[in-house]
Amino acid sequence: MSHLRIAILPGDGIGKETMPHAVNCLHAAAEGHFEIETESFPWGAEHFLETGEFMPANGLDILRGFDAILFTAAGHPAVTDFRSSWEFVFVIRKQFKQYANIRPVRSYEGVPTLLTAPDAVDMIIVRENSEGEYAGPGGVVHSDWDNGVALQTSVFTRAGIERIAHYAFKLARERRKKVTNITKSNAMLHSLVYWDKVIEEVSQQYPDVDYGIMLVDAATMKFVQNPAFFDVIVTTNQFGDILSDLGGAMVGSVGLSPSGNVNPERDFPSMYEPVHGSAPDIAGQGLANPIGTILSGALMFKDLGQPEAAQRIQDAVATVLQSGLKTRDLRGSNTTSEIGEAIVQAIRQP
């Protein structure tokens, strides 16, 4: 029987409420099939306020020994957002070479949406996760004077573009064999013209996959007007970040959206997390939707070679949503615990 070691990072805010239910779902889906061992670490913005550090200096060494990481979100009103990102979350993503950010967007029966054909939504956004617009180079000169200047430099390397493109095309082969490159090369004449050129070259190696290109402004309209058009989307760091939030809104709530920060070569553990943030405004009130974290666990199981366990979790989520149980973000009145416990029960049913 296989044995998986999972590092648990509840993070901040609502993460401390949603994570226990996600862990319960992991154990329920694994029961009788394989062994799972979890260990929790209290790192994040709240940890920073208490100790002066988001995670200990040897935090990466600790995480390196696990098969995967399940995380919620980092953020607290007393801590500047960019510090939570650049001193914690981005450190893990970049140092563990989690260059593929996978964000499925799926609609569920029983969940109301504003779309005319919500049952048609089933796409995966493959977001380049290590460079692009979020690479970091830049600076500010004369910040507080009338001649202040801010520069932010995007970074696009051939190696970075090629590897995310290969990931997207291989993923499409497992689905409906269609990849759409979402870009803005009509305006960004160097970086995204180069992005398009390299992805086009990679596409030639996958003649069995239908490849197309679409500008991001047109894609936002197509998301709403005809979401069934999309299968696998490959896009840049910033565009993937924005489009996945739009996708969450399309299917009823970003609270339903899982994601994975994946190191495809498995040289390092991948990290899975819901798309939503720490939501400090509702923390501690039992209002948070645990499904994004729970489905992130399912995505993790699939990548770790346990697709049946992943499917058990996904089916249980669909069953609970179809039954009418919903948290406030889905226009319901059920609590975090009620949803989490119902999903665990659904997993354990034959």
Examine the domain organization and report whether 172 and 102 are in the same domain: no
Examine the domain organization and report whether 126 and 246 are in the same domain: yes
Question: What is the C-alpha separation between 138 and 145, in angstroms, rounded?
Answer: 18
In angstroms and rounded to an integer, the radius of gyration of the C-alpha atoms of the chain is 20
Active site (annotated) includes residue 184: yes
Q: 262-291, pLDDT tens digit by residue?
A: 999 999 999 999 999 999 999 999 999 999
| Domain span at 206 | 114-138+150-250
The pLDDT confidence band at residue 236, using thresholds 50, 70 and 90, is very high
Q: Would you state the pLDDT for residue 114?
A: 74
Examine the domain organization and report whether 130 and 91 are in the same domain: no
Q: Would you state the pLDDT for residue 116?
A: 63
Instruction: For residue 313, tell me if it sits in a domain.
Output: yes
Q: Are 234 and 180 in contact (CB under 8 A)?
A: yes
Active site (annotated) includes residue 245: yes
Q: 97-139, pLDDT tens digit by residue?
A: 999 999 999 999 889 887 766 567 899 999 999 999 988 899 9
Examine the domain organization and report whether 189 and 236 are in the same domain: yes
Q: Using the predicted structure, report yes or no on whether residue 2 has a pLDDT greater than 90.
A: no
Given 16, 94, 184, 326, which residue is catalytic?
Answer: 184
Q: Would you state the pLDDT for residue 115?
A: 77
The helix or strand, by DSSP H or E, that contains position 26, with its residue range, turns out to be helix 15-30
Examine the domain organization and report whether 178 and 289 are in the same domain: no
Q: Would you state the pLDDT for residue 1?
A: 62
Given 99, 108, 134, 272, which residue is catalytic?
Answer: 134
Q: What is the CATH number of the domain that holds 167?
A: 3.40.718.10
Hey, is 214 helix, strand or coil?
A: strand
Instruction: For residue 261, tell me if it sits in a domain.
Output: yes
Q: 323-336, pLDDT tens digit by residue?
A: 999 999 999 999 99
Examine the domain organization and report whether 89 and 189 are in the same domain: no
- Looking at 208, 228, 250, the residue that finishes a domain is 250
Active site (annotated) includes residue 206: no
Question: What is the C-alpha separation between 26 and 309, in angstroms, rounded?
Answer: 8
Q: What percent of the chain has pLDDT over 70?
A: 98
Q: 26-48, pLDDT tens digit by residue?
A: 999 999 999 999 999 999 999 99
Quote the number of domains for the chain.
2
Q: Using the predicted structure, report yes or no on whether residue 70 has a pLDDT greater than 80.
A: yes
Examine the domain organization and report whether 224 and 308 are in the same domain: no
Examine the domain organization and report whether 120 and 101 are in the same domain: no
Q: What is the mean pLDDT of residues 182-188?
A: 96
Given 12, 241, 303, 329, which residue is catalytic?
Answer: 241
Instruction: For residue 143, tell me if it sits in a domain.
Output: no
Examine the domain organization and report whether 246 and 262 are in the same domain: no
97: left (phi over 0), alpha (psi -120 to 50) or beta: left
